[in-house]
Chains A and B, each alone.
Chain A
């Protein structure tokens, strides 16, 4: 896929590609030689000096082939000087010229190479997610070969090597993809540590430091739970009414179109007036809705695995209720209840669940205390030594 003008924008304006620290997406483009591009005066001196004293992270390492070449060159050099034999001097000169040639080709290969990291949020613990390094060869004539990137993810000791296996033509872009599988919820840092190349002859390993990193939130893993056929799920008197979008008959509001909205709900007049797509929101009909209350007091959750399971169960129930249109609000500890009217609200709740930790003594907010008195309140407690149970208004409704 060639770079479009939009893609170039991200190269040129560093902030344009940022979508927030924990939302995944693309990083900025990193370019080889950018360090020197920023130097307006005495650039050549900087380049030459960098050969002697490389920038932090930039290194040149000798490979086995390189060691063989150096050893052979040294042997021939010693023999040449010891004997003044010009045949040996010719061989020595050719070897040295080959080393220079190798350096030139390597420089040409890495020149005008840009890359960026792409991690598409949301991530979910225990699930596979695609991630990629987009690599663009900005040269006009020469292709690029044999570059690989060392990618590290937090919590994993071993670096992942992503190699450019084929030729990258001039002005072409490719994606080096891999599968990311976070083990636990929380904040995950994905880093491209360095770009490495052995091109062209494998004498030297050229290492370029890369500062690309992306923090993404990993939501709790979905968990299988058992839902009891309790009467609590269908108590007729326990009805929660709320001003929230639904499939009722009353027009509640107009809002901007988001992906996934039905096209039938587009309000064309308003869209034409405002210059962007607007959709109608109707008030929900009266139906049973639930409020999830996640309490993280450390005294309630002495076992970390049970706490993790609680987070997973809460996230799974929240998504299930949202899909069924029955999630009214969510509460975490003593915070004020947060109404869940749209997908974004649910995502925020899951983001919070990704980062929540057992706390010593959560402050119970007044609003939270009132929510405890609401109907259809779903709370969580440990169930036995390993399990977690969800209680609906005090009645055990589900376990995991």
Chain B
């Protein structure tokens, strides 16, 4: 037999447990990064403190006893204070978990403390996953599970080795032996004791666990309760400042610095994707002192619904060929939902939601900013650049005052209580005079909104270049007027703001709109991906002749909005905006996560079951057809006249079969046995091993009375093969054949 494989002693097991516990604590603490919870202090302490105590475990013994006594009352007080001042349960709970996790990670742990550490870690990982619905959760929970299982295994081995007498760690003077840590030595020992076969089996089994959990996930019965998750209500998420009701210069540009994905959109019919993608989110109708905002009148027009609802009827009339758009809006983006235009129906995937809607402005606002990915499905969405009037007037149960008959749409009949004017300019007389002068200089024809838009855009582009970096000239005037008066470059907010002021000064109702422009077509997951860097601000100008609002994008380089332009060839469009980069592939994974995992419901489950059934039936049908075809071909071949070639073919097949059998019996089988023997028995002769196998089989049988002598003879020969010198061996193959026969037919005499 080979040399005995070394194994970890008790101290080394303790060291491994300590290492795993620390790693688990850090892994679970870092999951909080995906949630908008202010916990940098505790995260920092864990990130710095835990590696320190992993490296020097004796540091844990330096903590005075009174700290241990005071720790839990202190944590309770901190939690109470946190909740009292913050008024939010979930962030306080997360911070409490982090405190406890930190304490458990940097103090000596017994078994129950390790269990506490695991439960705290699981809580953090699951809560972070629920609140963020991030793809990282999938990796994190798998890593956490693997780490936890190994930790539990090591804890169990330690318990078995100690047999109920745990090591007590109480004083710095007599630290346990395992605390004298040398990580390099431990690493070497781990490498020594590792058996690649057991490790491979372990990894394979863990892969099986992940596979089984995936199977369970899809197979667990689902019921449609359509409840909102209570955890969502325990945390408040702020929108990005560029997508809130008050936008200062630079807020949208700040969002553009971020290249992460903000929105993923599945489109059932990609041919309906418009050439110019403007994802409207928010209308800003008021400007004062460098800040655009939503006026109170407009806010009042956004009608809060009394009852949360899952299905919303829009102002567009449904038609048969409408495409279905599924939006996956990343958490924390905004509470205003991006839309291309009007829609016929919108459904929230996460059940009924509180919302407010403005039918004519096509604005949809949620009760609060979603903390996690928010999915909704839109049907019959209009993608034209001109908004137009609503096709139908859906009934609302709005709590706010309703807007009478499109008073804001005309821009002429207006009421301060019912709607904004979109003509108001809050500038002093000198600034207004300057604006008027610029408008006059445009020399635009009156009552032609399109021509005005074109000329004003050209005038702005002539005086200013586009730049993400804005430098406003000094002065006491309004910052926007100062910028217009200069030749400084600017970004989309400045261009859109300047255009709005010019249009209003010229008597055209105008407003600024924020949202996203463009997007890329992910060829991996076949969806539109819109990043935060696509954040944009543009304008909408009321055309009194056509009684519609036109989209105008005055930012240099923007495509000109042509309402009646012919739709670009879908294939060309998709090729133009397609993204095949590695980041797109990763985004595809994220979309897969949203489509197949996060949005998996009873309907999807039934669909999956149906698909699986159909796939199995198709495969069985294919196999059946293949067999039929094969049999038919063989039959036809047999019916053909015999000649030398056919006979030779048959002979070749028979010879091949015989060669395979003989090769297996005389070469391959022995080789396989030798290989298996070298794997498991440190080179024990395969003949001896097989002889041992047959000996055991024979002895487990009741020998027939009539064949006792034959049995004993066979047993003696097997024993010679098993234990005797090789020189006197009988023919091993013949002996094994007889042994096989004897085991197969125990009552036969002819052994």
Q: Which A residues are closer than 8 A to B by beta carbons? A: 2, 5, 8-9, 12-13, 64-65, 68, 72, 76, 81-94, 96-98, 100-101, 104-105, 140-143, 145-148, 161, 163-167, 169-172, 198-202
Contacts and interface: CB of A to CB of B under 8 A. Distances in A.
B163 A165 contact: yes
14 contacts: A64-B112, A83-B229, A84-B225, A84-B227, A87-B598, A93-B216, A96-B213, A97-B212, A98-B145, A141-B679, A165-B160, A166-B7, A198-B159, A201-B153
Interface stretch (B456-464, B556-564, B694-702): B694-702
Interface residues of B, number: 67
Q: Which among B142, B155, B209, B210 has the highest number of chain A CB atoms within 10 Å?
A: B209
**Is the contact region of chain B dominated by helix, strand, or loop, or is it mixed?**
helix
A175 B585 CA distance: 57
Given A141-B197, A161-B163, A169 B5 contact: yes
A17 B7 CA distance: 33
B216 A83 contact: no
B4 A86 contact: no
A395 to B, nearest CB: 56
Contacts of B222: 84, 89
B157 interface: yes
Given A84-B601, A90-B138, 7 more contacts: A8-B696, A84-B224, A91-B129, A93-B217, A98-B209, A172-B4, A200-B152
Given A88-B130, A98-B145, A93 B163 contact: no
A84 B220 CA distance: 11
Instruction: Output the residue of A81, A87, A145, A146 with the most chain B CB within 10 A.
Output: A87
Closest 5 CB pairs of A and B: A97-B213, A146-B160, A93-B216, A201-B152, A12-B699
Nearest to B2: A169
Contacts of B230: 83
A158 to B, nearest CB: 13
B638 interface: no
A161 B149 CA distance: 26
B163 A148 contact: yes
Contacts, number: 156
A85 B699 CA distance: 58
A148 B162 CA distance: 12
A164 B159 CA distance: 11
A8 B679 CA distance: 23
Contact of B213 (A8, A90, A147): A90
A2 B157 contact: no
Interface in B198-226: 198, 201, 205-206, 208-210, 212-214, 216-217, 220, 222-226
Contacts of B226: 84
B101 to A, nearest CB: 16
B352 to A, nearest CB: 12
Interface in B209-253: 209-210, 212-214, 216-217, 220, 222-230
Nearest to B684: A171
A100 B212 contact: yes
A141 B201 contact: yes
B430 interface: no
B210 A97 contact: yes
Contacts of B54: none
Most buried by A among B4, B126, B164, B206: B126
Interface string B661-689: 00000000000000000011100000000
A13 B703 CA distance: 12
Contact of A141 (B133, B145, B598, B680): B680
B389 interface: no
A72 B122 contact: yes
Contacts of A92: 216, 220
A46 B103 CA distance: 49
Given A2-B1, A146-B157, A87 B137 contact: yes
B692 to A, nearest CB: 8
A85 B700 CA distance: 55
B438 interface: no
Contacts of B213: 90, 93-94, 96-97
B517 interface: no
